Structure 1
């Protein structure tokens, strides 16, 4: 009571103090006396009610100006000390005088078709001061005056977007970037190529509409993978895997089936031993011979280290301008003469030479034997039966499958693990380069995850070389973890992206030419022969990457790869956690191929299995007790959707929502995805924990594309806005080829009747926020957030229909111009009204 009585006295004392320094001092003592800076324009003792709305608004200041200044402040780059890096320390290589003196010319949105050999580069995407493909391209654009000097310091100013991001050392015969360029000069392509190294080429520059984004409009991608045909040879009978294949085939009574699959190569190793290895062993004394036989089929630590070192030198050490020693076009490969075996042996020995110790008789003998094995492999020519079996394995990938075992950190329940493969074929006519036969595999798919293609090639080649039943590929799509090694990245090549839907729209309605690589086919093939293929062939000839990869798998003395045997997945059972990720990481580490970056742009957040979420022990289906099934029924929902989710993920759906009782498959997937992000992403955990959704629906937006609209409670909308840009980016990775939009779930109340009786019975006045107009305006704001709407216009057509034109902030054009069609169609489907989103027109030229 005393505290309550003292409060008014203190308030009156403060009111009686005169203004001035003493009053300022009192205002700084305690948070209760601090004034809001936004209220500085108000006079003491007076509020807004004593002023007109116009006067009050003018004194408050320009809100848009404050927002622009705040956005500009956030865009400032900071140096290591945290100080602003603008002004004198700008990254722009040109002075202010040079920028001012340059003539301003219009820039247009274009698609640039490029090809490059990735040797010596740290990948495609700009990454600080690292040497990347985009960094060299951007410098060439500036040097050729395709980008103005004022925009030379930041690719974002030109709205640069890449279609497919390749990892370091990965090549691309065809790729696309979209950005704004100055293309008035007719010979602009030649000017840009003159500024580029030989291993990067511009094929063509195609004018597009302003909303074009090569990443969003790409329908599918073609990749090529090159590998020597000896990768299909079976493991050596004396290797660990070779012995297990025979042992488990006898145990399961399938020796005849295995022998039939190996019929075309049954004599290969016996002939090599008789003609190549026995003469070497005959020259050794008994003691040295015994030591050599003990070590010849064992993977030494030196070989593992050599493989890591060879991979490192291949991807990092080779300079970008360095040309391979052998430059043999692929088409002329069959006419080339073979190198002497002594030279091949010398190359093999370089990569296996032990360091910091003297070589003894055993080392020299091992060197000769391993060189003989490599030379014999290179002389191998694949049979038609073996090629047909490889094609049969590749056909198993076609269609929409759950490729959770073909990437990292994705569970069976993750919807983004489902990918669609259109075709996967092997060229039936191998090519011969320097006595080594090479196979070309081409895959066409909508999108790919990290390491997916390399693991697909690795599994298919292992299935063929080990005589494994084809059903094992179907088992890899099931809810069980399989350790699949990824084939060497040396042979991976991005062939070209496909823009089928955009090309149809461009030619039929936009009046633009199609993005087509076929018109440059001759140039591309010549570039591949000279800059890409020769690099792949020469690196393999020097480092024996494929030989070392498969040799290490054959000597991998654990259960990881015993699913290749007749024992199946049961033989490969090992102690692991429920996600199986530790297993894959251990395999990659021991194979010397730890995860690095994401070559296909796939996301890398960890996704756990539902069993792990529920903290239940893994129990085999055949012996599950009744209590276990009851517990699972209590923790899962009564109505089981097609995509299962954990009990914790169900809490991401609001309790008062009808979807909580009967969630759709889409709502289940979104709830699970939100819970995964909350559990595994540290910087989103706190922000996502209190957020829930009400419902979700999928909307067709034209050209075969779809958008996902997530409805959230109105009180939670502000919380979603805090993380919306990051959240939508992560969700769009999981739900590929679909835009994700977040809207508040609002209800429109009907207009009250005007009769006296209805006015008397009306309990409360209808809130303005529940009117039709207010809800439609709120939907517009939610759709475009965080882009500000700067104007609206209503156009009435001759037929009486109305079109709403919404003008967006020009400064945010680069981030949303490719989503405008989605905004328009979603608004029309939700409200029944037509709307057109656009940016302010600054004149006939777009500067």
Structure 2
């Protein structure tokens, strides 16, 4: 989808069930959306996101089967959203925090109950007996243990272990395990003796839950998963378990601590809220579309998707992206746009969940969202740090919200576009930032009696210090990845080209 071409329209005028009681037809929707029925179809007025003028939607297009099927007749270009191949794999129905849902329901399995995303599937194909690497083979008493983990998601396809083969792209040669954080954590637990070999390959046997499911490329300063594990006896049993598991984890994953919780505790259901931090380069917020368009013309590039590192580096230099700085007025507009999202709103227009205005899941409560003052890294690039806290999130909600607010800050969209898109009677198409720079800070378990012990562990001075150190390491890694891969430059080039 082009960076400067979001769109919105009204919903069909046919009688429908009443939306949730806590919503109402807001004045913004009345201002932006007017529909009149005609014989040949509906003619609807809408505000074009590109030119900012009123225009009409074709009647047949307005009744298209999908939201993305509707087109503005003034700017009817095919909107395409540039997605990384790995993102499409982990973009299932994400009821929480994927910008995470628990995903603990029934799943399709193959190979006699072994998940295709587990190392067990590879070991089985190779004829390897994984009991040879297991830390224990005899049974022992189990406890429901909450594992407090952090990870750098740049080299993973997300947190959640892939259990359904249909979610894996046919272009991927499935010669090794599909790299997720949970697949590495499961293998480390087996080697550390926290689980039996008979339970390896199927997380459901461990009653596995997760606080938030992060997508491909998204990191976590602190996330929580729970499982029934064999801990052992003694006062230091948990600390010993943490030390053993860390010895088998890759350097991109770290087990901060662990806590024994009640048998009915669920990391997802007992969580009260989640917080994220998004590091965004300033050139994605300031007006840089014209500069990038000139840079693409200078190297005669029609399709930036195939550009390599050197070509992207040239684009960055020609467009002057490294020198981009956010002015005080731009920062004020960005903060004003971000503040529109606070409260309980209809967020389906800022998600990829495919929800309708009658779906209660589309309504989420955002507690706070703030943007710190910009800072310059050691390579001369300016960044913005945006922190978001909510009860839960929809798929890609954070990346879409901040991308839309960035367009308002640079003057490509009016502020009323956000206000209208938050209304359940409006259908809008919104841009989406890449996942590079998005960090899951931590979940909270303040409102649950079952999560009291875990919240005390998370709030302890020792664990907070570990998490803060890891978040700082992730910040440095994010800056380095942006330079090494030029993902943000490629995203901007693709958005401008389309």
Do Structure 1 and Structure 2 share a fold, with TM-score over 0.5? yes
Alignment match, 2:161: 126
What is the 5 A alignment of 1:650-799?
none
What is the 5 A alignment of 1:539-688?
539-556=481-498
Kindly indicate whether residue 196 of structure 2 is the aligned counterpart of residue 148 of structure 1.
yes
Summarize deviations over 1:399-458 as a string: whole Å, max 9, x none.
Answer: 111112112322333322111111111112524231001111111111111111111011
Alignment match, 2:251: 198
CA distance in 2, matches of 1:351, 1:294: 10
C-alpha RMSD over aligned residues:
3.2
3-state SS in 1 of match to 2:263: coil
Contact 1:92 1:152 in 2 (8 A): no
What's the offset of the Cα at 1:209? 0.7
- 1:451–1:469 CA distance, 2 compared to 1 (3 A): same
Please, which of 484, 487, 491 is the counterpart of residue 437 of structure 2? 491
Alignment match, 1:461: 406
- After TM superposition, the score normalised by the length of structure 2 is 0.65
Please, which of 365, 372, 391 is the counterpart of residue 446 of structure 1? 391
What is the 5 A alignment of 1:15-414?
77=112, 93-94=130-131, 102-127=137-162, 129-184=177-232, 185=237, 186-235=239-288, 295-296=297-298, 300-306=301-307, 349-351=310-312, 370-374=315-319, 376-408=320-352, 409-414=354-359
Contact 1:126 1:132 in 2 (8 A): yes
Q: Which moved more, 1:159-168 or 1:433-442?
A: 159-168
Summarize deviations over 1:105-162 as a string: whole Å, max 9, x none.
Answer: 2111111100001122222122253222111111111211122344334322221212
- After TM superposition, the score normalised by the length of structure 1 is 0.39
Summarize deviations over 1:705-759 as a string: whole Å, max 9, x none.
Answer: xxxxxxxxxxxxxxxxxxxxxxxxxxxxxxxxxxxxxxxxxxxxxxxxxxxxxxx
- 1:386–1:125 CA distance, 2 compared to 1 (3 A): same
CA distance in 1, matches of 2:296, 2:142: 69
What's the offset of the Cα at 1:213? 1.0
3-state SS in 1 of match to 2:154: coil
Contact 2:148 2:258 in 1 (8 A): yes
What's the offset of the Cα at 1:75? 10
What's the offset of the Cα at 1:296? 3.5
Please, which of 469, 472, 479 is the counterpart of residue 537 of structure 1? 479
CA distance in 1, matches of 2:335, 2:288: 20
CA distance in 1, matches of 2:289, 2:444: 42
CA distance in 1, matches of 2:454, 2:434: 40
CA distance in 2, matches of 1:237, 1:126: 41
CA distance in 2, matches of 1:162, 1:294: 43
Contact 2:190 2:197 in 1 (8 A): yes
Kindly indicate whether residue 430 of structure 2 is the aligned counterpart of residue 500 of structure 1.
no
CA distance in 1, matches of 2:151, 2:363: 30
Summarize deviations over 1:495-529 as a string: whole Å, max 9, x none.
Answer: 11111112x4555xxx7773525532222232233
CA distance in 2, matches of 1:489, 1:132: 15
Contact 1:92 1:153 in 2 (8 A): no
- 1:141–1:505 CA distance, 2 compared to 1 (3 A): closer
Contact 1:239 1:555 in 2 (8 A): no
CA distance in 2, matches of 1:483, 1:477: 12
Contact 2:302 2:497 in 1 (8 A): no
Q: Which entry has the higher C-alpha Rg, 1 or 2?
A: 1
Contact 1:207 1:513 in 2 (8 A): no
CA distance in 1, matches of 2:321, 2:406: 15
Summarize deviations over 1:513-556 as a string: whole Å, max 9, x none.
Answer: 735255322222322333x2233212222343323433444454
- Segments of structure 1 that go 5 or more residues without pairing to the other structure are 1-73, 80-84, 241-291, 311-346, 353-366, 557-847
Alignment match, 1:526: 469
CA distance in 1, matches of 2:207, 2:469: 31
CA distance in 2, matches of 1:387, 1:162: 35
Summarize deviations over 1:673-720 as a string: whole Å, max 9, x none.
Answer: xxxxxxxxxxxxxxxxxxxxxxxxxxxxxxxxxxxxxxxxxxxxxxxx
Alignment match, 1:288: none
Kindly indicate whether residue 439 of structure 2 is the aligned counterpart of residue 482 of structure 1.
no
3-state SS in 2 of match to 1:474: helix
What's the offset of the Cα at 1:230? 2.2
- 1:78–1:513 CA distance, 2 compared to 1 (3 A): closer
- 1:78–1:224 CA distance, 2 compared to 1 (3 A): closer
